[in-house]
């Protein structure tokens, strides 16, 4: 494979090296033959979950499909040492770390959570390792409240890891989240952790395991849902994640069922933030755009996208994914001009995310392949994403 190859070319090369037809790869990966064919030909841009399933079918790490250029891009941000330092240990803090009252740590964690949702990743990285150390020390004295804050802080580490393609570190971060959430004594916080962990599992191709984890999380919080608005919000997020993963597994009926339940619950509490997670009807629709694209139904995805009104002040992280998935839907429909417009909106929502995300790069590559004429907007987007165009 040559430097500059698109992700579709890399998939085709790896498939041929293993003597597999597109049908055989589709069967091994558990995705549709149609989607394999379209991704290889540059007619569709695959989601991280689908790339994970294809990599599993090829028996390789997903990073090999994203390419060497993405490794160079990640090194430019140089977040890996910071993430590793943050996740290094939970019981080996330096004796030099002075205890800080939890009331003074809470505002710092709240700031990190805000930076995470607004995709200000460099700001997160500046304080993350030391903040985790202080929270671990505080947890020895204050227990559950500190572990609740640690859960949110480890989530920020996970965001840095998976947004910039550090899959192994993302898995470690979600394990740390789960550990802290269990010690927090809050079943809803633990369920939210499983919402995040399911995404991590899907990105490495462990999609059936991700679905099993979500179903278990739903069952665990079911006793709380009837009379607890917070529990309803968490249950809604679990259902919308399950609906998206079911779509990756090509299970149309299960996907529809989960989204129906997610929307029913979301209608009760509206748009907002619960356990550092965006909730509400608009976010359900954002996930539906991704799911319909996974199912190979771009017309439905585009219709949902056009009917989605993003709330004022919605987290930039969710905005950038909305426009990115809208772009993927337009590419699947063979409309690169509309896809380029959506990619422009995605970059406007979060330039920092746009520059570092391997998924953004793969989508821009697909748009460049479909858009054969010279386009200054696409050239600008390609430059921002580090794509040779």
Choosing from 150, 185, 220, the residue where a domain stops is 185
The kind and range of the H/E element at 274 are strand 272-274
In a domain, 29, yes or no: no
**Is the pLDDT confidence value at 143 over 80?**
yes
Question: Does residue 329 fall inside a structural domain?
Answer: no
Within-domain flag for 239? yes
Where is the domain boundary, 252, 279, 314?
314
3-class secondary-structure state, position 350: coil
Residue 297 included in any domain:
yes
- Which domain, by its residues, includes 237? 186-314
Which own/partner contact pairs does 298-306 have at CB distance under 8 Å and 24+ positions apart?
298/329, 298/330, 298/332, 298/333, 299/333, 301/325, 301/326, 301/328, 301/329, 301/332, 302/326, 302/329, 302/330, 302/333, 302/338, 305/329
Residue 293 lies in a domain: yes
Asked, for residue 307, whether it belongs to a domain, the answer is yes
Radius of gyration in angstroms for the set of CA atoms belonging to the chain, rounded to a whole number: 20
**180 and 191 part of one domain:** no
Q: What is the pLDDT of residue 77?
A: 53
| Residue with the larger pLDDT of the pair 100 and 99 | 100
239 three-state secondary structure: helix
31: enclosing H helix or E strand: none
What local confidence, expressed as pLDDT, does residue 110 receive?
Answer: 95
pLDDT digits (tens, 9 = 90+) for 131-142: 999 999 898 889
Rounded average pLDDT over 45-72? 78
Q: How many helices (H) and strands (E) does the chain have?
A: 22, 2
pLDDT, greater one: 152 or 164 = 152
pLDDT at 221: 96
Q: What is the pLDDT of residues 1-35, one digit of tens each?
A: 445 567 888 888 888 888 889 999 999 988 888 88
Phi, psi of 328 (to 5 degrees): -60, -40
The larger pLDDT score, comparing residue 164 to residue 112, is at 112
Q: Is residue 61 part of a domain?
A: no
Confidence label for 63 from pLDDT (cuts 50, 70 and 90): confident
Total number of domains constituting the chain: 2
Kindly report the CATH number assigned to the domain that includes residue 242: 1.25.40
CB atoms within 10 A of CB 192: 26
Do 175 and 217 have their domain in common? no
Q: Which of 201, 277, 182 is nearest to 237 (CA)?
A: 277
Same domain, 234 and 172: no
The Cα 15–Cα 29 span in angstroms is 11
Q: Supply 19's token pair.
A: 């003597």
Position 4 scores a pLDDT of: 54
pLDDT of 385 = 83
* Most confident of the ranges 131-145, 163-177, 285-299, 354-368: 285-299
* pLDDT of 389 strictly over 70: no
pLDDT of residue 1: 40
pLDDT recorded at residue 233: 95
pLDDT of residue 152 exceeding 90 = yes
**Alpha-helical runs (H) found in 204-315:** 207-225, 229-248, 252-269, 281-294, 298-306
pLDDT at 55 over 80: yes
* Lowest model confidence (mean pLDDT) among 70-84, 106-120, 252-266, 301-315: 70-84
From 314, 331, 357, the end of a domain falls on 314
- Residue 178 shares a structural domain with residue 195: no
Picking from 216-220, 301-305, 329-333, 368-372, which range would have the lowest pLDDT averaged per residue? 368-372
pTM of the model: 0.87
Q: How confident is the model at residue 74 (pLDDT cuts 50, 70, 90)?
A: very low
Q: With a cut of 70, say whether residue 72 has pLDDT above it.
A: no
Domain assignment present for 387: no
Q: Which helix (H) or strand (E) holds 277?
A: strand 277-279
Shared-domain flag, residues 181 and 195: no
193 shares its domain with 174: no
Q: Within this chain, do residues 276 and 195 fall inside the same structural domain, yes or no?
A: yes
Neighbour count for residue 4 (Cβ, 10 Å): 13
Nearest to 166 by CA among 28, 93, 63, 95: 63
Measure the CA–CA gap between 120 and 174, rounded to whole angstroms.
20
Most confident of 82-96, 231-245, 353-367: 231-245
pLDDT digit string, tens, across residues 339-374: 999 999 999 999 988 887 888 888 998 888 888 776
My answer on whether 154 and 242 are in the same domain is: no
Kindly state the tokens that stand for 110. 């709240």
pLDDT in tens, 179-207: 999 999 999 999 999 999 999 999 888 99
Whole-angstrom CA distances from 258 to 31, 34, 191, 344 are 20, 24, 16, 31
85 and 197 part of one domain: no
Task: Please state, rounded to an integer, the average pLDDT across all residues of the chain.
Answer: 89
CA dihedral 57, 59, 61, 63 (to 10 degrees): -60
Residues in the chain: 389
Q: Is residue 206 located within the same domain as residue 310?
A: yes
Domain check: are 237 and 254 in the same one? yes
Q: Are 202 and 258 in a shared domain?
A: yes
Q: What whole-number percentage of the chain has pLDDT above 90? A: 56
């Amino acid at each position: 494979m040559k430097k500059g190859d698109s992700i579709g070319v890399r998939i085709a090369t790896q498939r041929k090296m293993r003597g597999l037809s597109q049908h055989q790869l589709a069967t091994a990966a558990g995705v549709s033959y149609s989607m394999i064919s379209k991704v290889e030909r540059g007619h569709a841009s695959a989601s991280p979950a689908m790339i994970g399933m294809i990599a599993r079918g090829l028996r390789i790490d997903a990073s090999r499909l994203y390419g060497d250029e993405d490794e160079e891009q990640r090194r430019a941000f140089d977040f890996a040492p910071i993430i590793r330092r943050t996740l290094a240990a939970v019981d080996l803090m330096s004796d030099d770390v002075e205890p800080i009252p939890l009331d003074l740590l809470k505002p710092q964690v709240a700031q990190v959570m805000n930076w995470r949702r607004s995709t200000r990743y460099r700001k997160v990285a500046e304080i993350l390792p030391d903040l985790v150390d202080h929270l671990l020390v505080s947890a020895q004295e204050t227990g559950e409240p500190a572990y609740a804050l640690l859960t949110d802080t480890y989530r920020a580490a996970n965001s840095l890891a998976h947004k910039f393609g550090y899959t192994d570190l993302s898995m470690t971060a979600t394990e740390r989240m789960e550990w802290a959430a269990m010690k927090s004594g809050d079943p809803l916080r633990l369920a939210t952790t499983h919402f995040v962990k399911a995404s991590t599992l899907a990105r490495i191709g462990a999609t059936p395991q991700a679905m099993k984890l979500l179903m278990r999380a739903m069952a665990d919080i079911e006793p709380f849902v009837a009379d607890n608005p917070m529990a309803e919000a968490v249950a809604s997020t679990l259902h919308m994640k399950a609906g998206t993963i079911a779509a990756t597994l090509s299970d149309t009926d299960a996907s529809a069922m989960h989204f129906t339940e997610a929307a029913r619950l979301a209608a009760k509490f509206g748009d907002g933030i619960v356990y550092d997670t965006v909730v509400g009807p608009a976010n359900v629709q954002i996930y539906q755009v991704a799911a319909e694209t996974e199912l190979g139904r771009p017309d439905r995805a585009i219709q949902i996208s056009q009917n989605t009104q993003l709330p004022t002040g919605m987290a930039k992280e969710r905005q950038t994914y909305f426009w990115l998935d809208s772009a993927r839907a337009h590419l699947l429909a063979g409309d690169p001009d509309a896809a380029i417009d959506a990619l422009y909106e995605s970059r406007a929502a979060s330039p920092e995310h746009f520059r570092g995300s391997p998924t953004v790069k793969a989508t821009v590559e697909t748009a460049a392949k479909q858009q054969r004429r010279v386009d200054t907007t696409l050239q600008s987007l390609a430059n921002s994403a580090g794509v040779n165009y």
